[in-house]
Chain A
Amino acid sequence: MASRIKRSTRYKLKEASKSNSGRFHVVPTSKGWSVKKEGAKRAISTSHTKDSAVRVAKARSSKDGKIVIHKKDGTIQK
């Protein structure tokens, strides 16, 4: 089947992969809610509740730092 992705899409994704924008990701795990700095391999903390993890992420992020909250199915909370 022919590819439907543009070269520019692949380029943007490669650039995003390398980025270290200062974003923090709040991710549900089997142990609770982990907070991960973008680009880091390990979580900086894991909390029992999502609210607690979001508080940690807000405290660690810079003033304009974005927080991304993930769902269990791998999608993003809007």
Chain B
Amino acid sequence: MSSTDKIFINCPFDNTYFPILKSILFTTVYLGLEPLISETSDSGSHRLGKIKRLIQNANYSIHDISRIELNDRGFPRFNMPFECGVDLGYKFFTKSNKKKILILDAERYRYQEFMSDIAGNDIKAHENEPETAVKNVRDWIRVSSGKKLPWASTIWLEYNEFTYDINNILESENINFNDIGALPFSDWIQLIKDWVEERETI
């Protein structure tokens, strides 16, 4: 990994998923990557144009396709699988060796029932557990980058200490750490960076 490696994260944006997203964001920053999320890009431009730029700018991508439940009107969310397809298409048609893609679902092999064409890619199940998501992401970056990295168990313990620190500080300012809408993503990412960069372990 170089210091400028970016990682595009395409996932559900709601409070149910937020514990997983926070653990993934922390893991990527802890391992020296710059997370890119659609909300962190400049506003005012076409949504698909933004996604295209994020995909082009990131050597790494994580696509979480776990949100397949139907909404109140009986429709699933197609955005995550769609953006995953755009990214796989980019990798395929540009023949990019640099592009590494991890696809996450909640259950192992479930994708075979609704998106079987993605077979053969890096697909992992996080079982809706943040600790498992940390391990999925860390192990995939380890293999993709070929670099020696901290163990997933170390990152998980560090993440828990981070959550204690940030919870205390945000609570005192009436900001809810468990509310995905409490801060823009760029702020969440900045706070993780601040904590990780100043970290002094004993």
Report which A residues bind B (CB closer than 8 A).
1-6, 9-10, 12-20, 23, 25, 27-31, 34, 36-43, 68, 70, 72-76
Name B159-187 residues within 8 Å CB distance of A. 159-170, 173, 175, 177-178, 183-187
Are B198 and A25 neighbours in the complex by a CB distance under 8 Å?
A: no
Report which B residues bind A (CB closer than 8 A).
19, 22-23, 39, 43, 129-132, 135, 150, 153-154, 156-170, 173, 175, 177-178, 183-187, 190-191, 194-202
Are A13 and B22 neighbours in the complex by a CB distance under 8 Å?
A: no
**Bound state CA distance, A31 and B190, in angstroms?**
31
Given the known interface contacts A4-B183, A16-B169, A25-B157, the answer about A74 and B163 at a Cβ–Cβ threshold of 8 Å is: yes
**Complex interface: chain A residues within 8 A of B178 (CB):** 75
Task: Tell me the smallest distance from the CB of A56 to a CB of chain B, in Å.
Answer: 15
Task: Tell me the smallest distance from the CB of B52 to a CB of chain A, in Å.
Answer: 20
Nearest-neighbor residue (CB-CB) of B22 within chain A = A74
Given the known interface contacts A72-B130, A75-B19, the answer about A9 and B173 at a Cβ–Cβ threshold of 8 Å is: yes
Q: Pick the contact of A72 from B131, B162, B194 — CB < 8 Å?
A: B131
Are B156 and A76 neighbours in the complex by a CB distance under 8 Å?
A: no
Are A1 and B43 neighbours in the complex by a CB distance under 8 Å?
A: yes
Task: Give me the 5 closest cross-chain CB pairs, A-B, nearest first.
Answer: A16-B165, A1-B184, A14-B198, A17-B198, A73-B19
